[in-house]
Structure 1
Amino acid sequence: MLPVYRTILYATDLSANAAHAFRHAMALARSFDARLCLLHVLPEVEPAVLNYVATVMGEERLADMELGHKAEVREEIARRIEAFAHEELADHPEDRARLAEIRVRHGNPAARILGEADDLGADLIVLGSHGKGRLHYTFLGSVAEKVLHRAKRPVLVVPLG
């Protein structure tokens, strides 16, 4: 039996080339009459950086600032993603109905992508890969590579030039 994709999770880093992967995700959503969920994961700040900032600012002030700004940042990114999707779909407004949800989360990008896919019951994950070269992967790893290695569902990785 051929696979059917009803829920597609498109994970974006909001880079300039993200539209290329989005177009693939939307084409699949259109072909399968699927709903498309858009996700952006804000990586957590490194503990060493937080410790330094807490020392300079004071822990209480940092905690107050961090709580207030996390919500603002999530809302702003959600607005940007919505504007991006509507701009991309300007020539196909009928596809806007396929945009089921926009999620902005904090955490480890690969782990959050996989967790959100589980939460949604996604049939497919679509994300872009920057292809920064062998040395980059050796030392830093890549979100796409980590998702591919840990995924329990199909993943479409779109090269982003």
Structure 2
Amino acid sequence: MIPGYHTLLYATDLSDNSAHAFRHAVSLARRYDAVIHILHVMPAMDPAMESYVAAVMGEEVFVKLEQTNRETLIETIRQRLEKFAADELQDHPEDLQRIAGIEVHYGRPAATILSVADRLDPDLIICGTHGKGLVSHTFLGSVAEKVLRKSTRPILVVPIK
């Protein structure tokens, strides 16, 4: 059976060139009359750094400040993603109706993408990848590669120019 795509999950890191992967998502959505869910994951702070900052500021002050700033940042990023989609689709505003939702989460990017995919049950996950050097890739890996290794769903990885 030839697969169809009804629900797409576009994961973005908000880099300057991430629009390239978004255009692939829109193209597929048009072709298959699908909806697109946009996802951005804010990376969690390194635990050692978090402990250090909490110790310097005081645990209670740090927790309150972090929560307040996180909520503000999430809303700012959500608005940025709305503007991004509107700007990218300005020549085809009817495609804005294909955007089924925009989510911004805080955590480990690959794990969060997979968790959101489990909840939304998309037919395809779309993300971009950056060409990083061999040393960086060997030790850190990329979010796209981690998602590829652990996902049970089809993934379209778009090289970002």
Per the normalisation by structure 2, the TM-score is 0.98
Q: Is 1:70 paired with 2:70?
A: yes
Give the aligned residue type for 1:153.
Answer: R
Which amino acid is the alignment partner of residue 128 of structure 2?
G
Shift of 1:134: 2.2
Alignment of 1:80-119 (within 5 A): 80-119=80-119
CA distance in structure 2 between the aligned counterparts of 1:69 and 1:7, rounded to whole angstroms: 32
Residue 133 of structure 1 deviates from its aligned partner by 2.8
CA drift of 1:124 comes to: 0.2
1:1-161 map, 5 Å: 1-161=1-161
Q: What is the count of residue pairs matched by the alignment?
A: 161
Measure how far apart 1:37 and its partner are.
Answer: 0.3
Deviates more, 1:48-57 or 1:6-15: 48-57
Cα deviation, 1:69-128, whole Å, max 9, x if unaligned, reads 111111000000000000000000010000000000111100110111110010000000
The CA distance in 1 between the partners of 2:135 and 2:53, in whole Å, is 31
Return 13-22 or 65-74, whichever deviates more: 65-74
Provide the rounded CA distance (Å) in 2 between the counterparts of 1:135 and 1:31.
Answer: 39
Tell me, what secondary structure is at the counterpart of 1:75? helix
Instruction: After TM superposition, give the deviation of residue 139 of structure 1 in Å.
Output: 1.1
Unmatched segments (≥5 aa) in structure 2: none
Cα distance in 1 between the residues matched to 2:113 and 2:10: 9
Task: Give me the whole-angstrom Cα distance separating, in 1, the residues matched to 2:134 and 2:126.
Answer: 22
Root-mean-square deviation (CA, aligned residues, Å) is 0.7
Partners of 1:151 and 1:17 in 2: how far apart? 24
CA distance in 2, matches of 1:96, 1:136: 36
Partner Cα separation in structure 1 for residue 134 and residue 149 of structure 2: 17
Residue type of the alignment partner of 2:139: F
Q: Report the Cα distance in structure 2 between the residues aligned to 1:146 and 1:85, rounded to whole angstroms.
A: 26
